[in-house]
Amino acid sequence: MDGSEHDTPPLDLPGGPDGPVIELDKVTKVYRTGSIAVAALRGVSLSIRQGEYVAVIGPSGSGKSTLMHILGCLDTPTSGAYRLAGEHVSDMSEAALAEVRNRRIGFVFQQFNLLASMSAWQNVELPLAYAGLHRAERKERSMDALARVGLAGRVHHRPGELSGGQQQRVAVARALVTEPDLILADEPTGNLDSLSAGDVLSLMDELHEAGRTLVLITHDAGVASASGRVLGIHDGLLTENDDRYHEHVR
Ligand SMILES: Nc1ncnc2c1ncn2[C@@H]1O[C@H](COP(=O)(O)OP(=O)(O)OP(=O)(O)O)[C@@H](O)[C@H]1O
Ligand SMILES: [Mg+2]
């Protein structure tokens, strides 16, 4: 997969290669629906270095998905600052943001979010099509990615012809096919049995060992314990090394 002229250059991080990839400074998010305002994030400050594997754990409604959407540049804070690889996200153009989302960040969602009418490899090649790669290279790279997640024998299957665990592995292949710097996973094991969940967590471990920065969102302390650093989130506020989960950390 290496050596392509299309490969994204390494991140130029503030403070060198071990510098922070993600820096949130007092980020808030308020959703307004009619006259009701919900403060989903109430002042979140956070720094994540390149290569860290961080779990964010908290109960339903605590702001986890809101945080992931902001980290993934899918939504913007109401106030506060987000710097991604040293750059203020609020200063980036829509084109620059699209480029970041497509090439720098790989997403894995609880609901897999695969296109039902497309085969596994066609789902995996989609981000490469957006990145403008030629068909032969797209196909080769998506086949490689599917082999990496143990699905070389299922490349022509559609999502409906795959088990839940296999579908999520296709989603992981889609997230890693662009060789992103940052992988954001929101409850990636939420719809899986424990065996398939274990497979997905092993893949996360491999990505971490390969130097990727990972943020894994979960409400399950067992899942969070796969990471090196656990942040609790409660009612829109983060707690570093949350006592409630700390004992589970490796
Ligand atoms: N688009 C929206 N409009 C209005 N309110 C929202 C919106 N999205 C989320 N909220 C509210 O913000 C709060 C945080 O929601 P969020 O989806 O971030 O929680 P979560 O921690 O991911 O929960 P879960 O574990 O159930 O997925 C909730 O009270 C929710 O009702
Ligand atoms: Mg959520």
* Tens digits of residue pLDDT in 63-94: 999 999 999 999 999 999 999 988 999 999 99
Pocket lined around ligand 1, Cβ cut-off 6 Å: 31, 33, 38, 40, 58, 60-66, 219
Provide the whole-model pTM: 0.89
| Nearest bound ligand to the CA of residue 38 | 1
Determine, yes or no, domain membership for 88. Answer: no
Q: Does residue 173 lie in a domain region?
A: yes
What CATH number does residue 106 fall under? 3.40.50.300
59 Cα nearest atom in ligand 1: 25
CA of 221 to the centre of ligand 1 (A): 20
How many domains does the chain fold into? 1
Which ranges of the chain would DSSP assign to H, the alpha helix?
64-71, 94-99, 120-130, 135-148, 164-176, 194-209, 221-224, 243-246
Average pLDDT, stretch 48-70? 95
Q: What is the pLDDT of residue 71?
A: 96
The Å distance, Cα 105 to ligand 1 centre, comes to 22
Would you say residue 177 has pLDDT above 60?
Answer: yes
pLDDT digits over 223-246, tens only?
Answer: 988 898 999 999 999 998 765 665
- Strand order across the beta sheet in which 79-84 lies: 36-49, 20-33, 79-84, 87-88
Residue closest by Cα to atom 2 of ligand 1 = 31
Closest ligand to the CA of 233: 1
Report if residue 19 sits inside a domain.
Answer: no
Query: Is residue 217 one of the residues assigned to a domain?
Result: yes
Cα separations (Å) of 155 from 106, 147, 149, 169?
A: 20, 9, 11, 11
Range of the domain at 56: 51-74+99-246
Ligand 1 atom index nearest CA of 58: 21
**Ligand 1: which residue has its CA nearest to atom 18?**
63
Domain presence at residue 81: no
Task: Tell whether 21 is covered by a domain.
Answer: no
Residue 15 lies in a domain: no
- Residue 186 Cα to ligand 2 midpoint, Å, equals 7
Percent of residues, the chain, with pLDDT higher than 90: 72
What dihedral do alpha carbons 30, 72, 223, 193 form, nearest 10°?
Answer: 100
Q: Is residue 30 a part of any domain in this protein?
A: no
Residue closest via CA to ligand 1's atom 31 equals 61
| Banded model confidence at residue 250, pLDDT cuts 50, 70, 90 | very low
- How many angstroms from the chain centroid is the CA of residue 208? 12
State the pLDDT at residue 99.
87
Return the residue whose CA atom lies nearest to atom 25 of ligand 1: 60
Residue 131 pLDDT grade (very low, low, confident, very high; cuts 50, 70, 90): confident
- Report pLDDT for 122: 97
d(CA 79, CA 93): 18
- What pLDDT is stored for residue 246 in this prediction? 52
